[in-house]
């Protein structure tokens, strides 16, 4: 089938990351994909090799008109996170001949959440009454953590690649000095508790190497030397999606942010702390707690998340061996729960191809 995926980058790279994984996952299953993206520059470091079967279209009015002329009609139109697809493509989609209704789907791919409403709204129809899509029906597709949702993305060979990963070799290849100390990754926005975390690591009873990702995490880090007490810091360049997985696999503890990196941290299986994308009305507080409930987070992990996300003013719990062992147990259990379920692409393709 032919799929058109529409993506707009809001203020970070998470939307791009999710849509690229979706596009490459579909291409890996033999599908033909066009990824329409308004800001494709991030793909230069996120996916420098591109992907066979995926055509990237710089989403502008000029490109929309150019691709409309003689372009094949998509069988599936995916509107990622409520962006408005190109009217010319929607018009083509609306004129698709009636012999293909079983494959003719307009999907509104929503954000990932563990909140109860996801199961209620997943796969619900939404009739379109105006503009070029009038008369069509969108369907909401909600990623989630239960069998009653759209699931999360997982490549078929992901766990096999994870099992083959050589941490020491990867660290050496990236010129990261390592002598067996604890390794922690930092991929965050600007958490208020960052100074608290750095102080704890500097004064810990065991050495820690902090791998700081490029962008907002690096900018949020207070200036100072690379060696601070028991803490050593390495700054990383922007890395590809493949190497971001390797980074998470190499670490004993991962600090992640947003949606795509949360899922990758779950697959990594190591203890992790999630900085959820903040919302002005604090709606992200309920979303975070719903995830922690699903993950059966121990009290110390819940308290750390609340402090890291600015919900609680209390000090960060101490990252000692016992605490991290409890977090690791919760992370493994959460991963096993997801591995027992079908992945997002399997569920999405089934939904698209089933008869109405």
Give the active site residues: 15, 259
- What is the spatial distance between Cα 342 and Cα 244, in angstroms, rounded to a whole number? 23
| Residues contacting residue 10 through CB under 8 Å, at least 6 positions apart | none
- Which of 114, 121, 41, 36 minimizes the C-alpha distance to 77? 36
Q: How far apart are CA 312 and CA 133, in angstroms?
A: 46
The 8 Å CB, 24+ separation contacts for 153-159 are 153/18, 153/21, 153/22, 153/25, 153/263, 153/343, 153/344, 153/345, 154/267, 154/338, 154/339, 154/343, 154/344, 155/25, 155/28, 156/28, 158/267, 159/267, 159/339
Q: Is 7 helix (H, G, I), strand (E, B) or coil?
A: strand
In terms of Cα–Cα distance, which of 295, 289, 294 is closest to 276? 289
Measured distance CA(162)–CA(97) in Å, rounded: 44
CA max distance for the chain: 69
Rounded Cα distance between 77 and 64, Å, is 14
- Cβ neighbours of 330 (radius 10 Å): 17
State the Rg of the chain over Cα.
Answer: 21
Handedness of CA 112, 118, 123, 127 (dihedral sign): negative
Q: Which residues contact 155 (CB under 8 A, 6 or more apart)?
A: 25, 28
User: How is the beta sheet containing 227-228 ordered, strand by strand?
Assistant: 227-228, 231-235, 208-212, 182-186, 253-257, 272-275
């Amino acid at each position: 089938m032919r799929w058109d995926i529409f993506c707009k980058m809001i203020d970070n790279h998470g939307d791009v990351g999710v849509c690229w994984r979706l596009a490459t996952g579909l291409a890996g299953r033999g599908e033909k994909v066009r990824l329409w993206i308004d800001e494709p520059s991030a793909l230069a470091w996120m996916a420098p090799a591109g992907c066979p079967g995926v055509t990237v279209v710089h989403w502008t009015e000029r490109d929309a008109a150019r691709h409309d002329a003689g372009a094949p009609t998509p069988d599936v139109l995916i509107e990622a996170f409520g962006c408005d697809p190109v009217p010319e493509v929607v018009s083509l989609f609306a004129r698709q001949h009636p012999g293909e209704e079983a494959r003719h789907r307009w999907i509104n791919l929503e954000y990932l959440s563990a909140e109860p409403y996801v199961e209620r709204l997943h796969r619900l129809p939404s009739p379109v009454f105006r503009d070029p899509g009038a008369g069509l029906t969108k369907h909401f597709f909600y990623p989630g953590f239960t069998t009653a949702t759209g699931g999360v993305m997982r490549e078929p060979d992901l766990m096999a690649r994870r099992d083959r990963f050589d941490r020491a070799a990867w660290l050496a290849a990236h010129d990261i000095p390592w002598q067996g100390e604890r390794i922690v990754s930092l991929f965050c926005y600007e958490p208020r508790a960052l100074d608290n975390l750095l102080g704890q690591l500097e004064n810990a009873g065991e050495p820690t190497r902090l791998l700081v990702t490029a962008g907002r995490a690096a900018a949020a880090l207070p200036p100072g030397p690379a060696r601070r007490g028991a803490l050593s810091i390495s700054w990383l360049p922007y890395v590809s999606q493949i190497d971001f997985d390797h980074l998470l696999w190499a670490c004993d503890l991962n600090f992640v942010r947003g949606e795509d990196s949360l899922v990758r941290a779950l697959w990594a299986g190591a203890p992790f702390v999630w900085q959820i994308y903040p919302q002005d009305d604090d709606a992200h507080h309920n979303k975070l707690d719903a995830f922690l409930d699903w993950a059966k987070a121990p009290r110390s992990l819940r308290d750390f998340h609340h402090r890291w996300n600015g919900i609680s003013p209390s000090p960060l719990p101490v990252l000692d061996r016992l605490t991290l062992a409890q977090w690791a147990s919760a992370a493994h259990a959460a991963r096993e729960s997801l591995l027992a379920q079908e992945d997002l692409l399997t569920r999405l393709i089934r939904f698209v191809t089933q008869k109405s």
